[in-house]
Amino acid sequence: MIGMSRCTRLVESPIGPRIVLNAINFAFADTARVGILCELGMTRSTMIKLLLGLDRPDSGLVIRPARLSAPLGSTAAFHPEISGIENIRLVAGMMGEDPDRAAIYCERFAELGEAYRHPLAQYSGAMRARLGFAFSMALPASTILADETTEAGEGVFRDRCRAAVAQRLKTAGLLLFSRRPKATLAICDVHAVLRDSTLTICDDHESARILFEADRHDTEAEQLAQYFDVA
């Protein structure tokens, strides 16, 4: 199971503590495919960090699944001064996984050639995405965490990513954070909206889309009113 029980997280701001997450409550089975519509920002990134165990709530509990993947395609845990293969071995070992197995899998999946043994600082953005996606697929997971994307690259590699995720979802769940309602419609069966520091679980995708897009329109109207000084 993955979820939160009355989780609240505060951050300091120039005018005092700011509530980023406010008494968040949810619980999903490991096998659920959950789409959370939300904009980029601190609320979204804070929830992801809490779920990954990289941050702690000020109050409440975080319920983590037996194995939660790193965000698909992310290389945030990698060091730029060491090679791709060294990063894979190092991070896999820190997570209690077999470094050799992970390194071999990523070499075959990412197909970076000799660059796999070059420092990450020399990688292009596309190469980093390939390595990050390969690492996400290399480790066993009961729930896949995806921040905006469930694939990487182009052409044949993108097809490989889609096939790998489809295969994994036969036995694992998915938690997809996205700004694109079409993305969550295509792959998720549970739908929610994260806004105003709270999470609202909706009856279906259409209800989630309407709530999310209404929030977008309200925010745009507020910004226009401030710009034109409309009372």
Residue 228 has pLDDT above 80, yes or no: no
Note whether residue 168 is domain-resident: no
Tokens representing 122? Answer: 């020399």
Give me the number of domains the chain comprises.
2
Task: Establish if 106 belongs to a structural domain.
Answer: yes
What's the pLDDT at 229?
47
Task: Give me the phi and psi of 219, to 5 degrees please.
Answer: -65, -45
- By the 10 Å C-beta count (0-12 exposed, 13-18 middle, 19+ buried), 172 is classed as buried
Q: How confident is the model at residue 215 (pLDDT cuts 50, 70, 90)?
A: low
* Residue that terminates a domain, selected from 140, 159, 184: 140
Chain centre to alpha carbon of residue 174: 10
Q: Is 12 a member of any domain? A: yes
What's the pLDDT tens digit per position in 116-153? Answer: 999 999 999 999 999 999 999 998 889 999 998 888 88
For residues 145 and 213, membership in a common domain is answered with yes
Torsion of Cα atoms, 93 then 29 then 109 then 117, to 10°: -30
Please work out, in degrees rounded to the nearest 5, the angle formed at the alpha carbon of residue 109 by the alpha carbons of 30 and 31.
Answer: 10
pLDDT in tens, 85-96: 999 999 999 888
Is 162 among the domain residues?
no
Count of Cβ atoms closer than 10 Å to residue 96 Cβ:
7
Same domain, 61 and 76: no
Residue 110's pLDDT band (cuts 50, 70, 90)? very high
Using CA atoms, how far apart are residues 29 and 182, in angstroms rounded to an integer? 23
Same domain, 65 and 105: no
- Are residues 119 and 17 located together in one domain of the fold? no
Q: Residues 45, 133: one domain?
A: no
Same domain as 145, residue 54: yes
**Are both 193 and 79 inside the same structural domain?**
no
Q: Report whether pLDDT(222) > 50.
A: no
Residue-wise pLDDT for 28-66, tens only, equals 998 899 999 999 999 999 999 999 888 999 999 999 887
Instruction: Average the pLDDT over each of 117-121, 143-147, 187-191, 214-218 and give the range with the smallest value.
Output: 214-218
Mean of the per-residue pLDDT values for the chain? Answer: 89
The predicted model scores a pTM of 0.83
Please give the pLDDT value at position 132: 92
Range of the domain at 7: 1-69+141-149+173-231
37 and 145 together in one domain: yes
Residue 225 has pLDDT above 90, yes or no: no
Of 85, 116, 140, the residue that ends a domain is 140
> In Å, what is the CA distance from 196 to each residue of 43, 60, 231?
8, 18, 22
CA 56 vs CA 26, 63, 136, 200: distances in Å: 17, 12, 23, 21
